[in-house]
Structure 1
Amino acid sequence: MKLRTKILGGYGLILALMMVVWAVAVISLYQLGRAGEAILQKNQLSVQAAENMINHLERQDSAALLSLLGDRQGSLVQFRDNQIEFAQWLGRARNNLTEPGEDRIIARIDSGYREFLTLFQSMTSTPMANRQNALAFYKQSLQPRFMQTRDSCLALREMNQTAMENASRHARRLAVETIWSMTLVGAASGSIGLALSILLSGFLLRPLAAMSRVAQQLAEGDYNVTLEIASSDELGNLAAQIVTMSQKLKIFHELNVGRLIAEKRRGEAVLRSIGDGLIVVDEAFFITAVNPQAAKLLNLSISESSGKAVSEVLPQTPLLDIIRRTTQSGQAPELPPEQTEISFGDEPHRQFFRFSVTPIRSEGGNRFREPWYCCRTSPVSRKSNGSKANSSWRPPMS
């Protein structure tokens, strides 16, 4: 499996968890909306119908009392107007049955109201002997039927109000459950996403850390490296290529080291074979190599002279000044022959030598990162009066 596929798979799973959270939220909000809709639509019409029936029924009862007071014509008009309104609201309640037992309550309202109408017609159509008899009929027959019908309307309203309260509590409970469910699902999704992110980052960082460690080993010259990355993706291929590169670098290093050793031995052999004294100095004025002739001239062994400062073995000599000037300019100064002589020893065994200083450069003509300077001394023959005689000096090496 490729690295791209693994990364996309991990993020795809996180996206799927986010979709699950979104789906749970949508379903919960839909259920909450349905619960609110039930509160507003299912029972509100029945409550409104019950309240209007109570209102119009009370107005009809007032019309009956108005008839007892002698205003028969006005009472009939008021009664009939409210009778029509009561019948309309009763029909709406009958067509909006929402709760169990609501049909029985509406049936009681209907039957009670019919009896109420019959009693009212009897009271208004039959002439009473006197007002006292009419009032007694109202209290004994019409008013109890009115109260019974009104109580049935109140029962209808209370039933639907109770249903609305239950729906409201259900909506609140559903809201709390929605909050907790979304919290739990969100926390679970976040935990799973975090775990997947940690696993994915570990899957990516562990091989990279191992390869970084191997690269550091290679930079330090340790070519015996191993990478155990059991993967067939791009990281596994990169690890295999790094191991292959380290093996090739190891072979090249071994060949290069052997070549350097051979070159060093060849250089040492050349130094020993040169008849003139030869001193190699670095930029810090420390001796890095001498040949046997120069060591004998300095009255030191080869091992003793290596690493010593030039000022220790050549104190206050023109050669030391020439080395400094060559170090500063990078070029050997042009000097007349009489300024390139140096003597060693006391009379009558004093020996005169002619010296030269040459910067050692690479094959391309550039100076090395740590420049070396070659100081060569050649013996010079002098007459007893100090004038120059036959000189065995040869041009210095470049």
Structure 2
Amino acid sequence: MTIRTKLFFGYLVFTATLVVLGGWSAWHLREMGGVSRNIIANNYDSVIAAQDMRDSLERQNSAALFVLLGQEERALSQLSEYRRRFDTSFQSAANNITEPGEGEIIETIRRDRDAYYKQVDVFLAEIQALRRPAGHLSDGLREGAPGASEGFLRLEPLINRLRVDCDNLLQINQRAMVAKSEAAAGVAQRWFLTTLGIAVSLVVAGLAFAVFLANRIVGPLRELTETAARIATGDLDAKARVSSRDEVGILAAGFNTMAERIRQLRRSDLGKLVVAQQTTEAAIDSLYDPVIITDAEGAVAKLNPAAEELFGTEAANVGKPVGEIARDSRIPVAVAEALSSQRPVAGEEAASVLPLDVDGTERAFRLRTTPMRDEEGRLLGAVTLLEDITHLREIDRLKSEFIATASHELRTPLTSVQMGVHLLLEGATGGLTEKQRELLQACKEDCERLERLMRDLLDLSRIEAGKHIPQLSPIRVAELVAASTDPLRAQLDAKGLSFAAEVPPELPSVLADRAQIERVLTNLVSNALRHTDRGGLIRVSAVRRQGHVAISVKDTGHGIPPEYLAHIFEKFIRVPDAPSGDAGLGLAISKRIVEAHGGKIVVQS
């Protein structure tokens, strides 16, 4: 019997046991799923119905208040709508009685509901009786007549009983769900222990099977392994003993032939070089991403198959300057920078992404270039990797489109809410108490904060989609700093902060989009203002640096924890315990604006 046949029958038995274990586990998983569905089917609908009835009651109570305020048309419409919703939810609960005592609660709700509806109708009839013949409320009702108020107060105990009834229905179903969940957990624990026992038994059987194979098969292989270890330590004269004609014997003979070839290669430096070169080329060719290898002069030395799809065959391009075959000027620039500085060149910002056409489809690649050196540190060339990030860009695009669409759709209802709050604050519906005015003012501030968030989300999505292309024009740096900080002087003075602007007059003008860069500076100074305590200092300075102008905003605030420095420019990142002020989008927008200008933004703390 060959080794293959022995292994086949041995593993066939082992596979059969695994199939049995898998079937056992699958059956138990199915049973657990049935338990979960039973919990949801029996109790979840009743929980939802109880919550909906409770909410409908509150809405009906609000409608009664609207009647007292003279908004009868609105009140009657709301009362009718939420009576219908209450009845629908009640019918759903009545059709799903599964727990002991639940039927009595349903009947109690039915009785208390009818009593409440009847009293509401009486209340509405009393209100109608107080109306003037011309359709206006009488002076008594307008001034809070006792009859109307007493009618409303008679509703309070009835609605309270209904609230308690709904809470009882909710609690009995919640308790039932918890009990069933605990029972299911117990069943799952028992099944887990049973499955674990079977699995342990299979492991023990597998170990026994492995020992058996070791005694019957692995012995000759162990001897072959020892021979290989001797060769690995440099004893190239070692040979494997060929003791049989089965697969192990054939392997030993082939191993001896291979060892002889190794001895021949070891005797020549050329053999070692060939092995190293073949290994390196095989590793490079196996990469899915395009790789360009250039020599120390920037000429193409190798292209892997993925790179050949972009730039043509390796045979046609070897020896050419990389700038001659590259389809984007940033590739030769990165190669030249890596060779001259002898440091890796890798851009993580959006400006470093190369859009290249592959078989008629545009794909996005991230450029990474690393210099190559020998053991003595001499420069050999550079390796350029084009990392395919098309799928990441597509995911980011879909996310940005979703955010933009959601923000746009929210603007209309938000505008309506803002208008309603504004009208209420202006007294369009009558006078307000101090407490009502405070609540409406809080609503107004929250609406304004939500509007700013949606505006930031829309701006961010447009910037990421490339729709906010900077309109460049020469601008003096001093004007940019002044325009960005002057509107904040009042806030700085109110908080007792010192401010200093250090912009040398000899600085040259910069090419920038005035509105966008002013927004970046305003956001940075605003952040410094929020995070600096009274008596602190905020300094804005600008210097010329290697053909660019570097603008910095420094403050004496609390600083940023080290673990957040690498993520501070990501979306929705906020440092814990920092003063509230935004949704964590300001720095993300600032980073993308600066990168769209070809610049770079960094943070130190």
State the TM-score, normalizing by the size of structure 2.
0.29
State the TM-score, normalizing by the size of structure 1.
0.43
